[in-house]
Each structure stands twice: as structure tokens, then as C-alpha cells.
């Protein structure tokens, strides 16, 4: 599957989800047996850990279709980059998507500032440059920061030598995306 075909397949699945016409593919015992000995996902997703954003469901995919890494704020920190490098470099996944979403709490925390308990501050620290880059743009401040954060994380992933090499060879496409919590629709972020 080419990177463009993988993106089309993913977006077609989201359209089915939005229209309540899910096929629920690859979610049976036969698929379980098929992928038990190995995986070949057609897309890798770096998604927020938010419980309302479940990539396999919102893209209408099944077992073994997606390689999903979830972390609050969909941030590309070392371990997440390493996981996506595995998907791209070892599994040969042709598509990598950074999936942000409407009303993201991690981005909102970065916008608001202030004290946070435990090590939550590490998430906010990774998002702050995106917040700063979005300042002064017209429109909703939080939405702008969320989309800016998606773009920042795409850039961070592109700095990986494994991912950069796959991009340069035309084996990989990387895109940013934004999930609307109210409609379920996913749109690409420039």
C-alpha cells in the first residue's frame, strides 16, 4: 500500500464512522488468528490519550490495522518517537498521523499555566512551544494551540533519522490531523 492509499483508506474509514456506517473490519476470530504471528499495520498514529479519541474506532479499523501510540497531548517525546520509528523502520508502515483533538486538556493546561501535580508538567513543557507559536492568530485560542501542537509534533517526528529517511525515500507520508469531538470528523492540519 502506498502512503497516499493508506491515507485514503484511513479517511474513508473516518467518513464511515461519521455517517454511522461502520464496517468494523478485521474484528473477528479469523483476523485474530491471521495477525497472531506478526503485524503489518498500514498506518501509525500518535494520538492523545483522551478516552474520547479511539483511533481504531474513529477510523473504522480493526486488529492489526493501526499501530497506535497514545500519550496526553499527542506529544512526540523520546519513547513515543522510538515507538513510531519501530512502526516505520521495522514494520514498514507507510503512513504516520499525529492526531490532535478538540478541547484537548493537555493543551489547555499549557495555555493556562500554573502549578500541576506530579510530573504532569513534563507534558505541558513539551506543548508550550506550540502554544507560543499560535499566539496572535485569529480564531479560537485553544483550537489554534491544538493545531499548532499537532504541527509541532509532526516536525519533531520528522527530525528522527529513521522517519526522515523513509520520507526521503517516498516510503512514508506524515500528516497532522484534528478530531472534532462533536461530529467525529477528522480533518487534516496544514
Q: What is the pLDDT of residues 120-173, one digit of tens each?
A: 999 999 999 999 999 999 999 999 999 999 999 999 999 999 999 999 999 999
At 114 the pLDDT is: 87
User: How many domains, the chain?
Assistant: 1
- pLDDT < 70 regions, the chain: none
DSSP run (H or E) holding 84: helix 78-85
Domain containing residue 8: 3-189
Question: Cell numbers at residue 184, please?
Answer: 467525529
**First-residue to last-residue Cα distance in the chain:** 23
What's the CATH code of the domain at 160?
3.40.1050.10
Backbone angles phi, psi at 67, to 5 degrees: -105, 105
At 2 the pLDDT is: 98
DSSP run (H or E) holding 131: helix 121-134
CB 149 within 8 Å of CB 74 = yes
Report how far apart, in Å, the C-alpha atoms of 120 and of each of 34, 51, 70, 144, 162 are.
39, 17, 15, 22, 28
Amino acid at each position: 500500500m502506498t502512503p497516499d492509499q493508506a491515507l485514503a483508506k484511513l479517511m474513508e474509514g473516518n467518513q464511515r464512522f461519521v455517517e454511522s456506517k461502520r464496517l468494523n473490519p478485521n474484528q473477528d476470530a479469523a483476523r485474530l488468528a491471521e495477525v497472531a504471528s506478526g503485524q503489518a499495520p498500514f498506518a501509525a498514529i500518535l494520538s492523545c490519550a483522551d478516552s474520547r479519541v479511539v483511533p481504531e474506532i474513529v477510523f473504522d479499523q480493526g486488529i492489526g490495522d493501526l499501530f497506535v501510540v497514545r500519550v496526553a497531548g499527542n506529544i512526540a517525546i523520546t519513547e513515543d518517537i522510538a515507538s513510531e520509528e519501530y512502526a516505520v523502520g521495522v514494520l514498514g508502515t507507510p503512513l504516520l498521523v499525529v492526531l490532535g483533538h478538540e478541547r484537548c486538556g493537555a493543551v489547555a493546561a499549557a495555555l493556562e499555566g500554573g502549578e500541576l501535580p506530579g510530573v504532569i508538567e513534563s507534558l505541558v513543557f513539551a506543548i508550550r512551544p506550540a502554544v507560543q507559536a499560535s499566539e496572535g492568530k485569529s480564531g479560537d485560542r485553544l483550537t489554534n494551540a491544538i493545531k499548532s501542537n499537532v504541527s509541532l509534533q509532526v516536525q519533531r517526528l520528522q527530525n528522527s533519522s529513521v522517519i526522515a529517511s523513509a520520507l526521503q525515500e517516498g516510503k512514508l507520508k506524515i500528516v497532522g490531523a484534528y478530531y472534532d469531538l462533536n461530529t467525529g470528523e477528522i480533518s487534516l492540519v496544514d
